[in-house]
Structure 1
Amino acid sequence: MNYKEITLMINHELEPFIADILNEVGANGVVIEDSEELKKGRIETFGEIYELDPADYPESDVRVKVYFSELDYHDGIIETIEEKINQLHDVKVTRLEISTDEVQEEDWANEWKNHFHAFKVSDKFVIVPSWESYDALQEGEHAIHLDPGMAFGTGDHATTSMCLKLIEKYVLPNQSVIDVGTGSGILSIAAHKLGAAPIKALDLDAVAVKVAQDNFEKNDCLDAITAEPGNLLKGETEKRDVIFANILAHIVDLMIDDSYALLNDNGLFITSGIIEEKETMIVEHLERVGYRILEITRDSGWIAIAARKEA
């Protein structure tokens, strides 16, 4: 199957909203290339970090590449994207340029290799793509071997990296976990590396479930993590100690009540995919059902939250 690639050049003010918009129009995959990435000084933060190639990034603003399968694409998608961007309230649109291209399936599979290299994402976790080797692990560090394929979650996006940092801070050995919207499976793998068990990984997208299972096998934890299709927490009855949800704010909002009911007393809810503008809505809902906010972290216009179910 081939894919349609739509490239958007947008100003930075639009970037926190673009993922929501593209999800609404049914995107199969998104790559965000922010010109500011070259200025962040990652080496100073966590030590050995991969070198970014300036050729992969625009000179200014943000380049967004969004993909649709040939079965999902239709001519009205571009018009819909433009309409949704122009309907954003209190967000100035100073750049919006759109172009399209055709992508062969084999080119899609190789696209990640041009952008994704081994890097240390937190104090304890080093992300290593499956096509690279890494022999610089330090004591106390864990390598997470990934081939993201067509699923979200390489650890490089702010939402995923913030979740990983909260996981390494709060998740304990032998805690039971359910990972909602697992994508590449990265959060489930991190929990396994820390000794959590049992772990269940859910995703509405069957492709993501298969990608996650492949990554579990790469990390020698295929038998330790159950991966299956699932619509948020619908149909889940077994209580857990920890729930992860790195998805979009309006979807997080839909599952807050169910997450609280499904957690054991003193259970932990770690969530991200929330733009800063939706922080108040999510925090108020969490507190309304009985959660106590432990920590809120911020990065690049996104937030992540760790919340505790009070006994």
Structure 2
Amino acid sequence: MNSRERIMAVLAGEKPDMTPIFPKIAFANVLACEGMTVREYMTDPKCMAAACVSAYRKFGWDGVALHTDISSEGKALGTIYEQPENTPGILKEYLLKDLSETDKVKVPDPYTTESMRTVVEAVSLVKKEIGDEAYILGWTNGPLNVAGQVYNLDELLVSLLEEPEEVHRLLEKCTEVSCAYAAAMIEAGADMIAYGHATASQNVISRDCYLEFALPYEKRLVQSIHEHGAKALTHICGNIENIVDAIAQNGSDVVDFDHVCDIDRLRERMPDKIYRGNIDPALFAMGTEGEIREAVKRLLAQKGAEEKFFLGSGCEINLNTPVGNLKAFTEAGRKYGKK
């Protein structure tokens, strides 16, 4: 099996030759390209595509992910960010000063509006170069995350309780934004769309708030992704063990889980889902190659990782991650993930 076939086998409910390796990595793809800056990666589709292809070939995993940081939708909608040379963007001014201004949120054209345009074009370039051998994942954000890009997050969270109708109005708009962006990436060649929804984590909001303000909009986003012919992945940072049964209702094909979660406990509450996770990004950045190998060995020895599983990172790979640790991760995955 090649990399693409390996991932597609798991998605089809079939047994792969080995556990697919697919860490969560976006702008840290630049680690594979000596001399490339984060700003170049974020703003030039040729650089983004080159970094993704180089990371795939250098580190030997089975899928590639195209994304900037969590500012893509916010930038496209009018929130002002500063883009340093070698770090993620820094938010400077929200689009909305008050929820009464929600009508300012207009669905942008992903083919002409930055940063969406860069990612969409990069997806197309990667598809042409390695689309037959690697699985291609595009990233958008879940509606609550998009809302937090255009309106102060602290005030948004208070508004869940004090102005729920206004929050729902904003989430309607944000869902349209995420759906449009996802559709453009699928048309460009993405096999799967992941959406980040950290604001929906039980570390941020309650289960009841998840059911009211996240799940209905996740369902619509996932439905739209499926209607456009791609698979969907849910990524919610932090602890999801107490909401994983609710996440199961959104219809996504794969669920990411962070390093604070345990695959066996997740399987108890949602047994049939395909999972991806969950080596700690801090271990990638600060651990030794031997510690990485041992962590992978332990994870793949758990019952919950025996099938319907992608070996990945718990969250985003950090820019200070040593290249040797990424290679050790793949080597261990191949050694201990054979079926």
Work out whether the TM-score is over 0.5: no
Q: Greater helix percent: which structure?
A: 2
Q: Greater strand percent: which structure?
A: 1
Please tell me the TM-score bracket, short chain as reference. 0.3 to 0.5
Higher relative contact order (CA 8 A, sep 6+): 2
TM-score, scaled to structure 1: 0.34
TM-score, scaled to structure 2: 0.32
